[in-house]
Amino acid sequence: MVDVNENPFDGTDAIFERKQPLKKDTFTPDTIFHRDEEIEFYINALQDVIVGHDPNNVFVYGPTGVGKTAVTKWVRDKLEEKAEAEDIPLTVVGPINCRNYRSAYALVNTLVNEFRDPENQLPESGYSTDSVFEFLYEEIEAVGGNVLIILDEIDNIPADARNDFLYELPRAEANENTPITDAKVGLIGISNDLKFVDVLEPKVKSTLGEREIKFGPYDATELRDILGYYADIAFREGVLGEDVVPLAAAFSAQERGDVRQGLRILEKAGEYARMEGADGVTEAHTRRATDTIETDELLDYFEHDLSSQQALTYLATTLALIEPKHEASTKRIYNLYSSIAESSGRRVKSERKIYEFLDQLSMQGLVRSAERNLGRKGGRKYIYEVTDDPTDIINAALQSSYSDAVPSNVNGILEHYLEDEATEFEAPDTTDDEQQNLWQFT
């Protein structure tokens, strides 16, 4: 019972020393681990600035949470430090995250204001897009020397800014239509959309991709070092069980090799420990954290990424997999799909459509299929499985707006499935009515 006369907030935190480093990218690490090669490429590409040649354009790409932004900031700081020591004129703007801008106008406006004094800032509207671009070129020319513009998440660049930024700006010095004659402009673009470069026109590709630096996922050992560094800062001394960081690292390495996910696990594990009033973070807290994070990510799929028909197909595939009596064939998935769609009052599409939905799910990496030869009978069929833990998928579905499509006895069947996974599969006794029902979704 909450004592109404007492304030329920607790003024002390036995677990966390500083939580901020675990949270979203608001913290700058003073060391960068395991990116020596990438840093070397980067330094190499920007070395020209220091020795007086024009800056190269650089394109940095790789999956999410693998240090692209962090390394870029680190290299930027070192470059500025060196330029200052050597008296080399250099102005760096960014990283500016393109995702925050809806139009070329908004993005250019921000850039112009980066160059301007606080009392001379451009208003949010009132000019044409062409004029703000003109202002930008004027600012660049006025500051002179080397000007590096860093655009983060450049795959999200507003469509009407694409050509100007990706093609015109990096060549501004050679372009007669801009007032730039002396300043040397370099563009650094960062993207986690690996297809982004593929869709660029060749002229843009060759300009932006002058130097490309690829960041790959981290492995478990690397993640251990990185997460260990953050854990040292974030947690109070001695509260972290010795398995916590290795577990978080192993889990993230298996998933995507993404630091951010590892940090989220550490934060969640710490929160579970704190909620329990425990005096330390244990392996159990960490396992619970990884489960929650999996479920949260899957919940995101159900709520945001999947259409309702894809979501039902995904759920039906999971049900087909855990159901002991049948194989998760397309036919069986379709039967389950129609039954859950119908019972939850949703539209039932044709069987042909299921192939399409399964293909889409497979493209998102949520399901996987294997071809099965039908032997002498001839022909082939596809057997499906889900790539995530069925327990997590069911949990996510239950928390989602599709909870009404989940059969009520799913947990019982799931339990049998998990037991069977652990032991030898035992076929249900199909002559026994009671058992029969036990194996059927209701």
The binding site for ligand ATP (CB under 6 A) comprises 25, 29, 32-35, 64-70, 192, 226, 259-260
- Selection from 70, 377, 33, 12 nearest residue 228 by Cα: 33
69 binds Mg ion per the rule CB under 5 A: yes
The DSSP annotation for 13-31 comes to -SSBS--GGGSSS-S--S-
Rounded-to-integer distance, Cα 108 and Cα 353, Å: 44
Residue 187 beta carbon to Mg ion: minimum distance, rounded to whole angstroms: 16
185 in a labelled binding site: no
Residues 6 or more apart whose Cβ sits within 8 Å of residue 344: 402, 404, 405
> Does 400 interact with Mg ion (rule: CB under 5 A)?
no
185 within 8 A of 172, measured Cβ to Cβ: yes
Residue 261 binds what, of ligand ATP, Mg ion, none (CB under 5 to 8 Å, by partner type)? none
Nearer to ligand ATP, 64 or 339 (CB): 64
Residue 278, CB-side half-sphere exposure with 13 Å CA sphere = 18
Q: What is the DSSP string of 282-314?
A: -HHHHHHHHHHHHHHHHHHIIIIIS-HHHHHHH
The residue (of 95 and 270) whose beta carbon lies closer to Mg ion is 95
Residue 25's binding partner out of ligand ATP, Mg ion, none, with CB under 5 to 8 Å set by partner kind: ligand ATP
Q: How far is the CB of 205 from Mg ion (least distance, A)?
A: 21
* Residue 131: count of CB within 10 angstroms of its CB: 13
From the list ligand ATP, Mg ion, none, which binds 75 (C-beta under 5 to 8 Å, kind-based)? none
Q: Which residue of this chain has its Cβ atom nearest to ligand ATP in the complex? A: 67
> Least distance to ligand ATP from the beta carbon of 262, Å?
8
Give the count of beta carbons closer than 10 Å to the beta carbon of residue 318. 30
DSSP 376: G
The answer to the question of whether 218 is labelled as a binding residue is yes
Q: How near is the Cβ of 358 to ligand ATP at its closest, in Å?
A: 29
| Residue closest to Mg ion, measured at CB | 69
Nearer to Mg ion, 259 or 406 (CB): 259
410 carries a ligand binding annotation: no
Q: Is 70 annotated as a binding residue?
A: yes
CA pair distance 122, 112, nearest whole angstrom: 7
Nearer to ligand ATP, 262 or 390 (CB): 262
Determine if residue 66 is labeled as part of a ligand binding site.
yes
The sign of the CA dihedral 394, 400, 403, 406 is: negative
Counting Cα atoms < 13 Å in the Cβ hemisphere of 196 gives: 22
- What's the closest the beta carbon of residue 69 comes to Mg ion, in angstroms? 3
- Segment contacting Mg ion by CB under 5 A, of 61-69, 196-204, 206-214, 293-301: 61-69
Under 8 Å between Cβ of 76 and 92: yes
Nearer to ligand ATP, 76 or 416 (CB): 76
* Amino acid (one-letter) located at 301: Y
User: Does the annotation list 68 as a binding residue?
Assistant: yes
The tokens describing 122, both together, are 């451009």
Return the CA Rg of the chain: 27
In terms of CB distance, is 151 or 298 closer to Mg ion? Answer: 151
Angle at 49 between CA 48 and CA 50, to 5 degrees: 90
Closest to ligand ATP by CB, 37 vs 359, is 37
Smallest distance, ligand ATP to C-beta of residue 393, A = 24
Write phi, then psi, for 388 (nearest 5 degrees): -105, 170
The count of residues interacting with Mg ion (CB under 5 A) is 1
29 binds, among Mg ion, ligand ATP, none (CB under 5 to 8 A by kind): ligand ATP
Q: Which range binds Mg ion by CB under 5 A, 67-75, 292-300, 310-318, 343-351?
A: 67-75
369 touches Mg ion (CB under 5 A):
no
Q: Which is nearer to ligand ATP, 246 or 324 (CB)?
A: 246
* Residue 242: count of CB within 10 angstroms of its CB: 8
**Residues in the annotated binding site:** 66-70, 218
Where on the chain is the footprint of Mg ion (CB under 5 A)?
A: 69
**Residues in the annotated binding site for ATP:** 66-70, 218
